[in-house]
Chain A
Amino acid sequence: MNGDRTFSSDAPAVAATGLTKIYGSGNTEVVAMRDVSLRIERGEVVALLGPSGAGKSTLLTAVGLINPPTVGHITIGGVPVMDGAQPLTDLAAFRRQHLGFVFQKANLIPFLNAAQNVQVALEINDTPPRAARRRALELLAYLGVADRAGNLPAALSGGQQQRVAVARALANEPNLILADEPTAALDSHRGRQVMELFRQVAHERGAGVLVVTHDHRALDVFDRTIQMEDGRLESERSEKI
């Protein structure tokens, strides 16, 4: 079940088709996502917009392999990973090797300092501690927070915390980075800086990036925006900048 064997470099970062998610059953049934299809190329940064309750997080977590869809197929880097709610591979292993996550807040483990928060992602993926440490410091430097390596998350500003979170998401050179409102807790200037980081990461490292956001001021950073409403992808708008 090793994803690497069939991983192809020209396959899209993610290709999902016919995703439907139904929460609960009977009277409490909620259809959070209906027949959604999504494709993100490598090196592409895509914004996912939509009102609250539209199903954006549901789509993101389905593609992130932590919230299986009720129906649909998901292929990541050319490897089929989900058939409906049925995993086709070891999802935890696949996540640690190929996916990176950033959320709105509380991304970091509070009892680990900035460097350790990055290091833990590497060690989980079997990087020896010494190499993991070195790489964690490189990543913090790449994201401009090297000087905060020894600080606990509580001692970092919101923007610094998100940079560390991005560094951690990048740690294992993922093919797909998923971010759910990563800038919601930041002011617009810092928010834009983080969005630009995603763009830089996608373009320099060849990862596909899907960012759920409400921040319309930073949309010019993205290669493409998609709109979601009431569980459906409303429109797709492609605008190369």
Chain B
Amino acid sequence: MNLAAQDIRHNLPRFGLTACGIGLLLMIVLGMGGIYRGLVYEATLLVDRVNADLWVVQHNTRGPFAEVSSVPANVESRVLAVPGVAAARRFVYWTIQRETSGRPLRLAIQGLVWPDDNGAWLPLAAGGPLHQAHYQMIADRTLGLQLGERIKLGKDFYTVVGLTKGMTSASGDGMAFFSLPDAQAIQFDEPGEAIRLQRNTRFRQMQRLDLGQQQPALLPRVSGQTADLPAILPPTVSAVLVKLAPGADAQKIIATINGWPDLTVYTQAQENDLLVHGLVDRSRRQIGLFRAILVIVSTIIMTLILYTLTLDKTHDIAMLKLMGARNRVVIGLILQQALLLGVIGYALAALLGQGLFPLFPRLVVITPQDFWLLAVAVLGISVLASLLGIWKAMRISPNTVLA
């Protein structure tokens, strides 16, 4: 006959409720670790998916994710000229926030170098890659957009032709992919009035210049489209991505590009590091701290519960001692209840977590190792939590029966 089990059967609702509470606490402990893993996973996801050997960014910046980086688009051609570089392409990335149907829509925009890159490498859950040079987009499912839905960004409408799965930026925003010119059009979109004023300013400046007076034919051109002006640089890009030829000497190429005073180059691993250490390191410490506090809180709560359960049984424990029960009978009673609470709490945490975490707004990644760690932690918490109750039980005198 198991005394612990009999006692629990007798106090089932109370015990069940307690186990539920502990289960929820443990679920949060489990989730905290998962949230951190999710942060790291999301932060490095794009870099991993893009899978470039080198990231060429603006000199001395930690771009393009940790901070703004801006390099001329022609860096692509300069980098291609370095021996050992197999391919280079422009990379455009930034985040915008708009409203659609009344709720904020945060898009992490990336430009694809159409037609070389139509987004076929993306993990598509529905639809397909871009199939024309303009006015199409591939959106991540987390953005809540539907296939075929048209949204207005800048001056144009873009149709969703594909939906990706799990493509989020380091800050958890869903990604949207456009052809590079579209992406830049969205980035550099300015209101009509601003453009008109700009053109007017240019026109007036030109009128005052010698050049404008000597060549009046230039005047209509400066009041035209910015992109048509040879004297004005084309829009910049965030970075240039490099693929190395097989067997190329990476160190040498890095040294060459880093030698150019306007650029800095990172390997894929370094870029990942920038993200993990720059963006999520503080979150990691924050979450770690919360997790530690939660473990302590769980231990304290369980200690109090087991202590109360023991106090409630003072008379029964005294009776057992009076009958000559060995200490291990009494210790076993408390310890078994502690472990059972722990086991049920753990099972609840694992089950609830697996059911609920996928519904969380940001990715929660639980690994088998997390489950093992939690199991060991729960074992420790249960034993630790039973000590106060056991200490109390050991001090109960059989005489108490008469009181």
A residues at B contact (CB < 8 Å): 57, 61, 64, 66-67, 92-97, 99, 101, 103, 106-107, 109-112, 116, 119-121, 123-125, 129, 132-133, 152, 168, 180
Q: Are B6 and A116 in contact (CB under 8 A)?
A: yes
CB < 8 Å neighbour of B321 from A92, A112, A120 = A92
Distance A152 CA – B399 CA, assembled complex (angstroms): 24
Write out the residue numbers on chain A whose beta carbons fall within 8 Å of the beta carbon of B7. 111
Q: Once the chains bind, are B319 and A92 in contact (CB under 8 Å)?
A: no
Report if A97-B399 is in contact (Cβ < 8 Å); known contacts: A111-B6, A111-B9, A120-B1. no
Contact B322 A124 (CB under 8 A): no
A125 CA to B324 CA, complexed, in Å: 8
Q: Which residues of B contact A97 (CB under 8 A)?
A: 324
In addition to A57-B402, A64-B322, A101-B323, 17 A-B residue pairs with Cβ atoms within 8 Å of each other are: A61-B399, A66-B399, A92-B321, A92-B326, A94-B324, A95-B322, A95-B323, A96-B324, A103-B402, A106-B401, A107-B319, A116-B1, A119-B1, A123-B1, A124-B323, A124-B325, A180-B402
Which residues from B are CB-within-8-Å of A123? 1
Partner of A111, one of B11, B324, B402: B11
- Which residues of chain B are within 8 angstroms of A61 by Cβ–Cβ distance? 399, 402
Q: Which residues of A contact B10 (CB under 8 A)?
A: 110-111, 152
- A93 and chain B: residue at smallest CB distance: B324
Across chains A and B, the number of contacting residue pairs, with CB separation under 8 Å, is 68
Say which residue of B1, B322, B326 sits within 8 Å of A101 (CB atoms). Answer: B322
Nearest CB of B to A116, in Å = 6
B401, closest chain A residue (CB):
A103
Q: Does B86 belong to the interface (CB within 8 Å)? A: no
Residues of chain B at the chain A interface (Cβ within 8 Å): 1, 3, 6-7, 9-11, 315-316, 319-326, 329, 397-399, 401-402
B399 to chain A: which residues have CB within 8 Å? 61, 66-67
Question: Would A121 and B1 be within 8 Å (CB), given that A66-B398, A67-B399 are in contact?
Answer: no
Compute how far the CA of A129 lies from the CA of B10 in the bound complex, rounded to whole angstroms: 20
Q: Which residue of A lies closest to B318 (CB)?
A: A66
A183 to B401, CA, bound (A): 16
Select one of A57, A124, A133 contacting B329, CB under 8 A: A124
Which residues of chain B are within 8 angstroms of A99 by Cβ–Cβ distance?
324
Which chain B residue lies CB-closest to A132?
A: B1
How long is the Cα–Cα vector from A67 to B400 in the complex, in angstroms? Answer: 10
What residues on A are CB-neighbors of B398 within 8 Å?
66
Compute how far the CA of A152 lies from the CA of B6 in the bound complex, rounded to whole angstroms. Answer: 11
Give CA–CA (A129, B323) in the complex, Å.
17
Q: How far is the CA of A180 from the CA of B10 in the complex (A)?
A: 28
State the 5 A-B residue pairs at the shortest beta-carbon distance, nearest first: A96-B324, A111-B10, A95-B324, A66-B398, A92-B324
- CB neighbours (8 Å) of A129 from chain B are 1
Residue from B316, B320, B323, B329 whose CB has the most chain A CB atoms within 10 Å: B323
Q: Which residue of A lies closest to B4 (CB)?
A: A111
Question: 8 A-B contacts, Cβ less than 8 Å apart?
Answer: A92-B321, A95-B323, A95-B324, A109-B316, A109-B319, A120-B3, A129-B1, A132-B1
Contact A66 B323 (CB under 8 A): no
Residues of B within 8 A of A180 (CB): 402
The distance from the CB of B12 to the nearest CB of chain A, in whole angstroms, is 11
Q: How far is the CB of B332 from chain A (nearest CB, A)?
A: 12
List the B residue with the shortest CB-CB distance to A123. B1
Most buried by B among A57, A66, A112: A66
Are B320 and A124 in contact, CB atoms less than 8 angstroms apart?
yes
List A contacts of B3 (CB < 8 A): 112, 120
| Cβ contact within 8 Å between B9 and A124 | no
- CB nearest neighbor in B for A169: B323
Instruction: Please give me the residue from chain B that is nearest to A113 by CB atom.
Output: B6
Q: In the complex, A68 Cα to B9 Cα: how many Å?
A: 36
B397 contacts across to A, CB distance below 8 A = 66
With a cutoff of 8 Å between Cβ atoms, the chain B residues found around residue A116 in the complex are 1, 6
Are A106 and B325 neighbours in the complex by a CB distance under 8 Å?
no
Q: In the complex, are the beta carbons of B402 and A96 less than 8 A apart?
A: no
Question: B319 to chain A: which residues have CB within 8 Å?
Answer: 107, 109
